[in-house]
């Protein structure tokens, strides 16, 4: 038996108004290449960087949310390497005094320790065409957080879940969109394999994975590969790998620079930035309710643990649920069920986000409440959801179409008789004790009452009429 050991390095784009060390606007997604540049981010001689206070504050939010230690002053270092889309030939980053050290992210029952998180600038983008390469420096100098975990993760699914939780956290904190499809969340994964209880094995690093799915697939492939090597009694070689989406395989990349190759030294153009404790306190006070706190609150309201997590870690759903809870008409668990199943399913079918749909917390609450009060059946409620999603008023729809639940024995007895006549075979089966056939009869009564008959009552009336039960 072997087990995997996984540690992640996550790069998150901060959604500051301007770049990390200059005044260029930092939102360049989809813009003309090289239109968001200036002498600082182009690395022109004599241009001097100025740290972006908002970027530092966003980093502090994350550090405090994770419970990381924050130093008394922020020190930037130069990480030297040549790359065509890195015009200065060095990256302003942090080295021995990162913005945050230690801390942890809760992951279900477990918790993943954070090694460090630091602030740095991104490089530009190289666009490789046939026979030539184009450079776009819009991204050069935009602010990033790099977050490094301890090797606490054990499975590809857990690694994926960790990334989803980090994504939800930074979105809740309002510091990053963390959208992998826009390159705003990228991950390098480190993985080794060992027998449980043994010392850590030799790790490989898989670089630049830009979707949750590729993180999971790359890890699955790599764990299989390393396990086979160990089974043969051979050793895993330390390596830096890439991942090819098409084949689902990892492949060797450049041999990685050692830390000494980067010639880290303190950035002479940026004096250390003091981080007064009063500033930290202010940031701490301004933190919103964190996803794991939300999950705890939902559970305390009676929502099942699994549902509470799912909602708390989907920020748009959590915002919606919080407003529906304020409306106070429907029970928390019923709202959770509807949001996670019916609403999510319908949105998915229509390719809409919750915000894009016309669904309001009031609208959903009133629909669910009609069902919970026994005024409409679950079937009618589900049938009305598409229109409520478009912003229509559930009570008005029920009124207009006469959709109230029918729990009137007299009215239903007639329908029951009709159905028993129309379906003699099913009726006979039930008489002989094959209760499975009862569902078909109930279904037919529901159809003939447009889903409005109270299902329990229908069931009882059918059994009585058949002399069973």
List of residues contacting ligand ADP (CB under 6 A)? 5-9, 148-151, 190-192, 200-201, 203
Selected binder of Zn ion within 10, 20, 41, 219 (CB under 5 A): 41
Number of residues near Zn ion (by CB under 5 A): 5
Q: Which does 41 bind (CB under 5 to 8 A by kind): Zn ion, ligand ADP, none?
A: Zn ion
Cβ–Cβ under 8 Å, residues 81 and 90: yes
- Smallest CA-to-CA distance from 106 within 171, 21, 168 is with 168
Beta bridge partners of 89: none
How far is the C-alpha of 89 from the C-alpha of 46, rounded, in Å?
15
- Smallest CA-to-CA distance from 96 within 80, 123, 73, 122 is with 73
Q: Which does 22 bind (CB under 5 to 8 A by kind): ligand ADP, Zn ion, none?
A: Zn ion
Three-state SS at 142: coil
Q: Which does 387 bind (CB under 5 to 8 A by kind): Zn ion, ligand ADP, none?
A: none
Rounded least distance, CB 149 to ligand ADP, Å? 5
- Smallest CA-to-CA distance from 28 within 134, 122, 99 is with 122
Q: Which does 117 bind (CB under 5 to 8 A by kind): ligand ADP, Zn ion, none?
A: none
- Smallest CA-to-CA distance from 261 within 81, 76, 84, 9 is with 81
Residue at token pair 């799912």: 310
Q: Which does 7 bind (CB under 5 to 8 A by kind): Zn ion, ligand ADP, none?
A: ligand ADP
- Cα distances (angstroms) measured from residue 338 to each of 148, 233, 294, 446: 37, 53, 18, 22
Q: Which does 190 bind (CB under 5 to 8 A by kind): Zn ion, ligand ADP, none?
A: ligand ADP
Nearer of residues 262 and 279 to ligand ADP, judged by Cβ: 262
Nearer of residues 52 and 172 to Zn ion, judged by Cβ: 52
- Three-state SS across 302-319? CCCHHHHHHHHCCHHHHH
- Smallest CA-to-CA distance from 141 within 74, 86, 196 is with 86
Rounded least distance, CB 256 to ligand ADP, Å? 8
Q: Which does 291 bind (CB under 5 to 8 A by kind): ligand ADP, Zn ion, none?
A: none
Nearer of residues 9 and 393 to ligand ADP, judged by Cβ: 9
Nearer of residues 87 and 151 to ligand ADP, judged by Cβ: 151
How far is the C-alpha of 346 from the C-alpha of 264, rounded, in Å?
52
Nearer of residues 129 and 199 to ligand ADP, judged by Cβ: 199
Question: Which residues 6+ apart lie within 8 Å of 333 measured at CB?
Answer: 302, 303, 304, 307
Footprint on residues 104-133 left by Zn ion (CB under 5 A): none
Nearer of residues 88 and 379 to Zn ion, judged by Cβ: 88
Rounded least distance, CB 211 to ligand ADP, Å? 19
Cβ–Cβ under 8 Å, residues 200 and 2: no
Cα Rg of the chain, angstroms: 29
DSSP assigned state of 261: G
Footprint on residues 9-28 left by Zn ion (CB under 5 A): 22, 24
Q: Which does 149 bind (CB under 5 to 8 A by kind): ligand ADP, Zn ion, none?
A: ligand ADP
Rounded least distance, CB 82 to ligand ADP, Å? 20
Beta bridge partners of 192: 5
Nearer of residues 152 and 342 to ligand ADP, judged by Cβ: 152
Nearer of residues 10 and 321 to ligand ADP, judged by Cβ: 10
Structure tokens given for 347? 């949105």
Cβ–Cβ under 8 Å, residues 461 and 412: yes
Selected binder of Zn ion within 25, 27, 33, 38 (CB under 5 A): 38
Rounded least distance, CB 152 to ligand ADP, Å? 7
Rounded least distance, CB 438 to ligand ADP, Å? 57
Q: In this structure, which long-range contacts are made by residues 455-461, counting pairs with CB atoms below 8 Å and at least 24 apart in sequence?
A: 455/377, 457/407, 457/409, 457/412, 458/412, 458/416, 461/409, 461/412, 461/413, 461/416
Instruction: Please report the sign of the dihedral spanned by the C-alpha atoms of residue 172, residue 188, residue 54, residue 126.
Output: negative
- Smallest CA-to-CA distance from 55 within 258, 215, 270 is with 270
Q: Which does 191 bind (CB under 5 to 8 A by kind): Zn ion, ligand ADP, none?
A: ligand ADP
Cβ–Cβ under 8 Å, residues 344 and 372: no
Cβ–Cβ under 8 Å, residues 263 and 66: no
User: Does 301 help bind Zn ion (rule: CB under 5 A)?
Assistant: no
Footprint on residues 226-285 left by Zn ion (CB under 5 A): none
Rounded least distance, CB 366 to Zn ion, Å? 51
Rounded least distance, CB 19 to Zn ion, Å? 5
Nearer of residues 1 and 260 to ligand ADP, judged by Cβ: 260
Report the residue number whose CB is nearest to ligand ADP: 7
Q: Which does 24 bind (CB under 5 to 8 A by kind): Zn ion, ligand ADP, none?
A: Zn ion
Rounded least distance, CB 137 to Zn ion, Å? 9
Q: Which does 148 bind (CB under 5 to 8 A by kind): ligand ADP, Zn ion, none?
A: ligand ADP
Complete DSSP assignment for 275-292: --HHHHHHHHHH----HH
Residues that bind Zn ion (CB under 5 A): 22, 24, 38, 40-41
């Amino acid at each position: 038996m072997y087990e995997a050991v996984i540690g992640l390095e996550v790069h998150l784009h901060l959604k500051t108004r301007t770049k990390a060390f200059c005044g260029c606007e930092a939102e360049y997604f989809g813009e003309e290449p090289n239109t968001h540049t200036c002498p600082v981010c182009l690395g022109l001689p004599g241009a001097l960087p100025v740290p972006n206070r908002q970027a530092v504050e966003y980093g502090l939010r994350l550090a405090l949310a994770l419970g990381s230690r924050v130093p008394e002053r922020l020190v930037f270092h130069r990480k030297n390497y040549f790359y065509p889309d890195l015009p200065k030939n060095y990256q302003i980053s942090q080295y021995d005094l990162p913005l945050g050290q230690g801390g942890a992210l809760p992951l279900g029952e477990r918790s993943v320790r954070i090694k460090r998180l630091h602030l740095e600038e991104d490089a530009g983008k190289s666009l490789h065409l046939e026979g030539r390469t184009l450079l776009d420096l819009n991204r050069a100098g935009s602010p990033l957080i790099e977050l490094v975990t301890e090797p606490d993760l054990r499975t590809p699914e857990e690694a994926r879940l960790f990334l989803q939780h980090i994504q939800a956290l930074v979105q809740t904190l309002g510091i990053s969109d963390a959208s992998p499809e826009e390159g705003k969340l990228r991950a390098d994964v480190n993985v080794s394999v060992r027998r449980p209880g043994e010392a850590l094995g030799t790790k490989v690093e898989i670089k630049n994975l830009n979707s949750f799915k590729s993180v999971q697939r790359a890890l699955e492939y790599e764990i299989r590969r390393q396990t086979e090597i160990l089974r043969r009694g051979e050793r895993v070689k330390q390596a830096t790998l890439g991942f090819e989406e098409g084949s689902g395989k990892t492949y060797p990349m450049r041999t990685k620079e050692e830390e000494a190759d980067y010639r880290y030294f303190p950035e002479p153009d940026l004096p250390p930035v003091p981080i007064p404790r009063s500033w930290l306190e202010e940031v701490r006070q301004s933190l919103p309710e964190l996803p794991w706190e939300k999950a705890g609150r939902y559970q305390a309201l009676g929502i099942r643990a699994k549902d509470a997590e799912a909602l708390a870690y989907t920020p748009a759903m959590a915002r919606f649920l919080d407003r529906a809870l304020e409306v106070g008409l429907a029970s928390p668990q019923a709202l959770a069920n509807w949001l996670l199943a019916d609403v999510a399913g319908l949105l998915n079918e229509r390719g809409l986000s919750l915000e894009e749909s016309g669904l309001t917390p009031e609208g959903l609450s009133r629909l669910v409440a009609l069902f919970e009060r026994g005024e409409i059946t679950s079937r009618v409620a589900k049938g009305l959801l598409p229109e409520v999603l478009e912003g229509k008023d559930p009570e008005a729809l029920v009124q207009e179409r006469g959709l109230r639940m029918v729990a009137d024995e007299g009215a239903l007895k007639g329908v029951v008789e009709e159905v028993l006549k129309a379906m003699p075979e099913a009726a006979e089966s039930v008489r002989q004790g094959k209760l499975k056939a009862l569902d078909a009869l109930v279904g037919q009564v529901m159809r003939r009452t447009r889903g409005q008959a109270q299902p329990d009552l229908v069931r009882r009336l059918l059994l009585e009429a058949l002399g069973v039960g």
